A and B are shown apart, each in its own frame.
Chain A
Amino acid sequence: MNQEIYLVGLNHKTAGVDIRERFALNDCDPAATGLVSDAGAVSEAMILSTCNRVEFLVVGSEEADMRARILRFWADQCGQPSGDLEGHTYCHVGDDAVNHLFTVASSLDSMILGEPQILGQLKTAYRNAVEKGVAKVIVNRLLHKAFSTAKRVRTETAIASSAVSISYAAVELARKIFTDLTNHRALLIGAGEMAELAATHLLSSGVRDITVVNRTLAKGEELARQFKGRAMPFEELHQALLETDIVISSTGSPTAIIRAKDMKDVLRKRRHKPIFFIDIAVPRDIDPDINGLDNVYLYDIDDLKEVVEENLAGRMQEAQKARGIVAEEVMAFMRWRDGLALQPTIVALLDQGECIARKELRKSIKQLGPNPDPQMVAILERLAKSLCHKIYHEPISYLKRRSLEEGSAQRFIHNARRMFNLDEEAIPEDAHLDRKPQTGSK
């Protein structure tokens, strides 16, 4: 029976968050739940379930209605009606399925193009499939190729080299000013949501500690606890500026709270150590003229947005290059798979030939009498085997040649299997009834 690769699933583009939540499959064992079984239509499976996508990668028989089978299984596992999945799912078969998987692994199908998180999630899903024994020859090879494709995309393109979020862009800029963030302190002025996010990013990037300055000290202290930092009263802002290197400001002040002329004094006192201001407030908290001072760098929300937009546009360009890499890798994988399909066909052809030859040999030996000459029997056996191999030599060579042609191998293998009835399909009694009766036949 011919095996095919299927990929059935939904993602953030095809389904809303409610559907994705209802059909999430965080702990599903395809073997224990009967999706994969030795005698069943599905021989291998892997389930990827993240907040943005749920996908079934399966290897199964071509004849089965795989999409319907998987949707039924999926809905049963989630205790939901399978009808709810209709219209939200996609089904890719063969090289389309491989292409989709490689595209996902390379983060070309992610909500944020190029974000590396999906690769880790895919590795976890694959590990689960291996542990449960449902990843075999094809899934193993497929996933390893997916990982190497993702690696090629990351090394040969700049798809993930630039920041595409405001807070990450701020951290990236800080890294261009300071070598090692672990030696530097950050100051949070005010307590805006985006400033908190930027501070979280800075902390996770290794910033030594965070000081919070807020008009309401109690709120500042609460926020400082969250970052395991310290709070200072608003009146000590200038003192705080002496001790910090990265400042994130997001107060609701209608006028600038840090002015260029004040900074001159601060800079002298801090012996001209560089200071990086990230002004996320609207209206702005920091006098734009500050950027003109030596060793002072100021980015406001618009500047950061511009960085992000430029980086996103750059990623889109790189994605084109990445898709070319994916297409190359899909072709390489399909060539391998076609070669894999050819081997069993060759073995089955020779088995069939030898079986026929043995059957005919037995009949011939019977005709030699009750005690045939052993030497004669041996000669006949050799003859039968040799004939079988020679007769099948040309069809096998033909198949091997065709399997090297891209895209046609599967068709030729399929035709050969049918021509020699290698899968022993039952031919219906009435298979020829539609033929026109020959004239003059009785």
Chain B
Amino acid sequence: MTASRLFELIIVLLYLSGSVSYPLGLVLRRAFLKRLAAWTSAAAFGLHTVDLALRSLELGAANLQHGQFYMSLMAWFFVLIFFVLWWRLKHDFLSMITAPLALILFSSSLAVRTQVLAVPEQFSVLWFSLHVGTIFVSLALIAMAFGAGVAYLHLERLIKTKAKLPGFSKELPSLETFDKANHWAVSIGFPLYTISLLAGFLWASFTWKKVISWDPKELISIVIWVLFALLFHQRMALGWRGRKPAKTAIILFILCLVSLVGVNFLLPSHHSFRQ
């Protein structure tokens, strides 16, 4: 095993530990397991940052042509967003969604390490900073909204039906906290998603001399944007709260997963990670 493989394996194990310890801490009501989850996620994030930095030093701009680098960077953004939200919202329940997602994305990135994307070099910096940077942050926020949405619907059902709150549910924060996570995701995520889409279309117009090429990724991105726009409008203008935004966020996240996995790995697209 090479040193870099070993390094990646350590990152995977740390994310795995973060993914397992937090739910275990909730179920067994052990605060130290929850603390362990936070510390191992933080350690994984630290090593992950070093890994990305080393890779950037090694390959420089050429990294932008590697699907592996994108996936790894996306996982890194997820954890970064988690730490920001954790600091702002003061709730470690976000561990439940972040560490497992980071684990899946980082592990997936290892599987696509040899894949190379056809990215025109002359636009790579602009493309990367605007299109990819903003899409990653907004996807991370949608993932947070998804986790918060699932937890919200679960807790709300228990409260509405007057069912006994079992140990795990008792440990959950309030409905208001989950709704606040959704609010954050929508109010920051939607403008960023819009910028990402605009940057993508602008880049396409420069590269291929046409704004839209009816690529499956483009189509699904437009569908996601419409749904995201609806959620943003209803939340900001009409004051949507609670169940409806939670359900919409769940649908949005599922569409994002379809876009990320289905399109990038399975369909022919200029975003494909397939060789």
Contacts and interface: CB of A to CB of B under 8 A. Distances in A.
A274 B162 contact: no
Contacts, number: 52
Contacts of A303: 162
Interface residues of B, number: 22
Contacts of A396: none
B170 A161 contact: yes
Interface of B: 29, 155, 159-160, 162, 164-165, 167, 170, 173-177, 180, 238-244
Contacts of B155: 176
A201 B155 CA distance: 23
23 contacts: A158-B167, A162-B170, A173-B159, A175-B174, A176-B165, A177-B175, A178-B174, A179-B173, A179-B176, A179-B177, A271-B238, A271-B241, A272-B241, A273-B239, A273-B241, A291-B160, A294-B241, A295-B241, A297-B160, A299-B162, A307-B162, A307-B164, A310-B164
Contacts of B239: 271-273
Contact-residue bracket for chain A = 20 to 34
Contacts of A310: 164
B174 A272 contact: no
A178 B162 CA distance: 16
Interface of A: 158, 161-162, 173, 175-179, 271-274, 291, 294-295, 297, 299, 303, 306-307, 310
Closest 9 pairs between A and B when the two form their complex, measured CB to CB: A271-B239, A272-B241, A179-B176, A179-B174, A295-B242, A303-B162, A272-B239, A179-B177, A178-B176
Contact of A176 (B159, B180, B242, B243): B159
Contacts of A158: 29, 167
A310 B170 CA distance: 14
A362 B165 CA distance: 81
Given A158-B29, A291-B160, A297-B160, A176 B241 contact: no
Contacts of B167: 158
A163 B212 CA distance: 59
A287 B170 CA distance: 28
Contacts of A306: 162
A309 B176 CA distance: 27
A271 B160 CA distance: 20
